[in-house]
Amino acid sequence: MANETVGIALCAGLGTRLRALCPSVAKAAFVFAGRPLAAYGLSVMAGAGITTFGINTHFMASTVREALSPALAKLGHEAIFCHEEVLLGTAGGARHVYDALGGERAVIFHGDVLAAADLELALAAHRRCGCRVTLVVAPRLIDDELGNIFVDEAGDIVGIHGHRRADRVGALRELKFCGIHIVERSLLLEVPADKPSCWVHDIYPSLLASGERIGAYMMPGFFSDMGTPERVAHARAILQGSAALRDRLGIAAGALG
């Protein structure tokens, strides 16, 4: 396992904003177009050759296991489920799962992300840049509520939610984060174990403050943060109008209603 890239699906969130659509299951188990929401990310990771998976759980944990175990079986894989009695956040939760998996690096996929991503290209870009972490990003539209990721002319991330690298000046481009991280083992082991922490608000600002590079891979495909009913409806409308996107995501004709 020392040379392996492992896959981590973050599925422990409370999902309060999406509760109106899934009152009896966790957000990651919410069925969209015939499949549990987090199954799409697992499929993307499996498509890139990842065979070892870990999934964190907290709220309605049994619904996550019941929904995703069959989804993984269809892909020919199993996963280690790591329950959190207390929410550990995106970074703390990933570290908790990584301790059970090991591996050279981890692809960390947020469980509420729907993305037609070419993860093999993202992994290749990560290896070329030589950074300990690469974030998958996408262009930010002028009316997009997501954003606050800033890259410099070299393509490095130099600003995240008000935290900036002091040594980088000049014109910056604002992008949005797609909920996919590629993180090397050395950085994962720096995340405090069994203590809540967040990649975006705790770990990455520390890297920026120290001047460490954070890579960015610009994803050319479709992306949607499915965290609210409005975003689910927006994604549904886009996919209903694009057979190519439906094929890319493995969504059967008629599954969108």
What confidence tens digit (pLDDT) does each residue in 7-33 have?
Answer: 999 999 999 999 999 999 999 999 999
Place 170 in a pLDDT band, splitting at 50, 70 and 90. confident
Residue 252 lies in a domain: no
- Binned at pLDDT 50, 70 and 90, residue 1 comes out as very low
> 36-52: per-residue pLDDT in tens?
999 999 999 999 999 99
Percent of all residues in the chain with a pLDDT value above 90, rounded to a whole number: 86
**Does residue 148 fall inside a structural domain?**
yes
Average pLDDT over residues 167-196: 92
Supply the pTM of this predicted model.
0.95
Structural domain count, the chain: 1
CATH of the domain at 189: 3.90.550.10
Long-range contacts of 66-74 (CB under 8 A, 24+ apart): 66/29, 67/25, 67/28, 67/29, 67/31, 67/36, 67/38, 67/39, 68/9, 68/11, 68/28, 68/29, 68/36, 68/38, 68/39, 68/42, 71/35, 71/36, 71/38, 71/39, 71/42, 71/43, 72/39, 72/42
Q: Is the pLDDT of residue 109 over 60?
A: yes
- Domain hosting 54: range is 5-242
Q: Is residue 197 within 8 Å of residue 224, measured between CB atoms?
A: no
Give domain status of residue 18, yes or no.
yes
Q: Does a structural domain hold residue 140?
A: yes
> Over 90: is that where the pLDDT of 221 sits?
no
For 229, the token pair is 């009913």
Domain membership flag for residue 253: no
Does a structural domain hold residue 230?
A: yes
In a domain, 249, yes or no: no
Question: Residue 33 falls within a domain, yes or no?
Answer: yes
